[in-house]
Amino acid sequence: MTVAVILTAICADAQVGRRFYVDAGWQFNGTVSNSFSDNASGWGGYVEGGYYVLPRVAVGAFASFNTNNEYFPKQTYDTGDGTSVTTDMYHSLYQVPFGATLRYRFAWKKVQPYVEAKLGANYAREYELYSTFGARDSQWGFYVSPEAGVVFHPFNKSNLGLQLSAYYSYATNRSKAFGIDGLNNLGFKVGLSF
């Protein structure tokens, strides 16, 4: 009888909330060691979901996007063919990483701190925009990202919660045209958890 009571208590504690999660929200991203567009930007979003195969371990998938823009004031640029042009310029770096996740949560109560690893692909497109013309390049790369965060479920018997996390990511994207040899990013995310 005592064994049955202990097993029931363990199983009841292991099933707090649903076994799956869906997180979505806003993403703030800054590029690191990138001379093409090194401004941080809040032009981003994310969605991810997973299933807890064990009470603390989940596997899932993710997708996100972010855009980093940098403005360069008017100056004279050499076009390479013996002519020059005087104009201002924008650099725009657009990234779309997606792939698989592995999450470990330290607790499965109302407050759920976690660490997560992401592996996948990263599509990147770079724009160099002048007042009357522009240039662009795009490429694919391998993507890896560690993340640490917390999910807070304030309501009893509801899976609705708030998510806050910070991340670092690296993608192997390369562009000879724009001098990019890998993409390093730092950022944070704020969103809802379902």
The reported pLDDT for the residue numbered 180 is 84
- The domain spans of the chain are 18-193
Q: Which CATH architecture has domain 18-193?
A: Beta Barrel (2.40)
Cα distances from 107 to residues 16, 21, 61, 113, in angstroms, run: 10, 14, 21, 7
The reported pLDDT for the residue numbered 17 is 59
Sequence-separated (6 or more) residues with CB below 8 Å from residue 21: 49, 50, 52, 58, 60, 151, 159, 193, 194
pLDDT tens by residue, the chain, 194 residues: 444 444 444 444 444 557 899 999 999 998 887 776 777 788 899 999 999 999 999 999 999 999 888 877 888 877 777 788 788 878 888 999 999 999 999 988 889 999 999 999 999 998 887 777 778 888 999 999 999 999 999 988 788 999 999 999 999 998 887 788 889 999 999 999 99
The reported pLDDT for the residue numbered 179 is 81
Tokens 């390369």 label which residue?
A: 174
The reported pLDDT for the residue numbered 190 is 97
